[in-house]
């Protein structure tokens, strides 16, 4: 699941979005790239007839009356999580009857979230009982303020995601090959919009088969189906939360790739009868202004330029996926430590720091244990042979 989120986040930055005819006919477009299309600390409303700035009071008061508000994020961008917290707080001030729903948790840990909201668990107990590192793996410190906000105000938290085994089974076999009891857990998704399928195909080709990719490739059809089932699973949980308390505002926290252009979760929500979900997204200065068309979101919030990442925090710069016998490298950050170490796309990581990884989270956990200035030994399978690689982490800044 985490790997697909990373693929979507990367593709969102790299792929020119193909818009539906309705979106292409928008009467007013945003400024061209390179201009300040969204000023920092300002909301830009993407209405059908115009794109315009809107004051926070009017915008949030209006959206607090919608049944569902979905807040997007790049999972590893701290400023996105700060924006989510501020937006949730502003919505809560206008609509205190609220439910918060999170992509980060598989639905099997729902009893743990209930205990957290009641104040029965510490942070460490929450993360351990939800298997945070294994199920999600991103820095928990970015998410904990949201979790504390929910507990402080006794806002119910809902786990949106499916368990890892379910997601993997759909990706490997397809939805119809699942046992009946598994198919009963998540209903058949509504067919994707053509633009969403095109977007996912571009992502699949870029990070997989390249120019050899075909839309009728069974691997792509399974990839598409897995993404749809993921969207559908989260939409079903949101719809259930809404039906359980029709007076409450359900706020969903999830990756932008599930939300932009109304393709993923919003599309599945509408198919489930939740007709008016709102989508709010953070907007960074380097984003392509041509994306800002009516339908991309209900509104976007302008962020300032990001601070430089913490160089002391170790990272290899790899996009990973679980595979038979190890963890496969799907993409490598240009100039990152993984590329410097000689790792290649397609390598199968079979050992890291003396241990065999089974999931991308195992690699992340091993990397996070590394101190600045140390070396991390890895073994990969490449072209039928085992290759030993050393990743060298830079020393801490003086």
Residues of the chain above pLDDT 70, percent: 88
For the stretch 241-251, pLDDT in tens is 999 999 999 99
Confidence of residue 12 (pLDDT cuts 50, 70, 90): very low
pLDDT at 23: 27
Strand order in the sheet with 68-71: 51-54, 43-46, 299-302, 278-283, 68-71, 249-253, 98-106, 157-161
For β-strands 98-106 and 249-253, DSSP reports them as: parallel
- The whole-chain average pLDDT of the chain stands at 86
Q: In which region does residue 279 sit, left (phi positive, over 0), alpha (psi from -120 to 50) or beta (all else)?
A: beta
**Which long-range contacts (C-beta less than 8 Å, at least 24 apart) are formed by 192-198?**
192/224, 192/228, 192/263, 192/267, 193/20, 193/263, 193/267, 194/20, 195/17, 195/18, 195/19, 195/20, 195/23, 195/261, 195/263, 196/261, 196/263, 196/264, 196/267, 197/224, 198/18
Q: In whole angstroms, what is the distance from residue 382 CA to residue 44 CA? A: 48
Q: Which helix (H) or strand (E) holds 309?
A: none
Mean pLDDT of 183-204: 92
- Over 90: is that where the pLDDT of 150 sits? yes
- Residue 21 confidence class, pLDDT cut points 50, 70, 90: very low
Model confidence at 32: pLDDT above 80: no
In the structure encoding, which two tokens stand for residue 163, read together? 């368990």
* Closest alpha carbon to 61 in 101, 100, 97, 93: 93
> Within 10 A of 316 (CB to CB), how many other CB atoms are there?
26
- H helices of the chain, in order, are 2-14, 21-24, 56-63, 78-94, 110-117, 123-129, 132-135, 144-152, 164-173, 180-183, 194-207, 218-244, 265-271, 337-340, 360-368
Q: pLDDT tens digits for 290-328?
A: 999 999 999 999 999 987 655 456 778 888 887 888 999
Task: Name which of 15-24, 109-118, 374-383 the model is least confident about.
Answer: 15-24
Other Cβ atoms less than 10 A from the Cβ of 275: the count is: 9
**Tokens 């979900």 sit on residue:** 277
Whether 139 shows a pLDDT value over 90: the answer reads no
pTM for this prediction: 0.76
Q: Judging by beta carbons within 10 Å of its beta carbon (0-12, 13-18, 19+), is residue 396 exposed, middle or buried?
A: exposed
CA 67 to chain centre: 22
């Amino acid at each position: 699941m985490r790997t697909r989120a990373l693929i979507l986040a990367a593709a969102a930055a790299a792929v020119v979005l193909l818009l539906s005819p309705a979106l292409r006919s928008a009467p007013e477009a945003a400024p061209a790239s390179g201009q300040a299309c969204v000023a920092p600390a300002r909301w830009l409303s993407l209405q059908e007839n115009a794109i315009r700035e809107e004051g926070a009071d009017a915008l949030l008061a209006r959206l607090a009356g919608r049944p569902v508000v979905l807040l997007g994020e790049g999972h590893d961008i701290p400023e996105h999580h700060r924006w989510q917290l501020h937006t949730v707080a502003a919505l809560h001030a206008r609509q205190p009857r609220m439910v918060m729903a999170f992509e980060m948790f598989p639905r099997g840990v729902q009893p743990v979230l209930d205990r957290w909201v009641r104040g029965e668990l510490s942070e460490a107990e929450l993360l351990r009982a939800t298997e945070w590192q294994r199920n999600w793996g991103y820095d928990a410190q970015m998410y904990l303020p949201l979790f504390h906000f929910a507990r402080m105000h006794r806002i119910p938290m809902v786990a949106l995601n499916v368990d890892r085994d379910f997601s993997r089974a759909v990706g490997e076999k397809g939805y119809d090959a699942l046992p009946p009891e598994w198919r009963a857990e998540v209903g058949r998704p509504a067919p994707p919009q053509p633009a969403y399928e095109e977007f996912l195909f571009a992502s699949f080709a870029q990070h997989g088969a390249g120019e050899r990719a075909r839309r009728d490739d069974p691997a792509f059809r399974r990839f598409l189906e897995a993404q749809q089932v993921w969207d559908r699973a989260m939409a079903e949980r949101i719809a259930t939360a809404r039906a359980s308390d029709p007076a409450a505002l359900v706020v969903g926290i999830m990756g932008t790739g599930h939300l932009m252009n109304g393709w993923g979760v919003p599309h599945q929500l509408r198919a489930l009868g939740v007709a008016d979900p709102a989508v709010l997204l953070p907007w960074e200065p380097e984003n392509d202004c041509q994306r800002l068309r009516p339908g991309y979101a209900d509104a976007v919030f302008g962020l300032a330029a990001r601070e430089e990442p913490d160089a002391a925090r170790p990272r290899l710069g790899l996009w990973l996926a679980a595979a038979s016998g190890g963890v496969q490298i799907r993409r490598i950050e240009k100039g990152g430590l993984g590329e410097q170490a000689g790792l290649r796309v397609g390598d199968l990581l079979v050992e890291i720091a003396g241990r065999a990884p089974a999931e991308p989270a195992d690699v992340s956990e091993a990397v996070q244990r590394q101190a600045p200035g140390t070396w991390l030994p890895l073994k990969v399978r490449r072209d039928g042979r085992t290759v030993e690689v050393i990743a060298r982490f830079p020393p801490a800044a003086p």
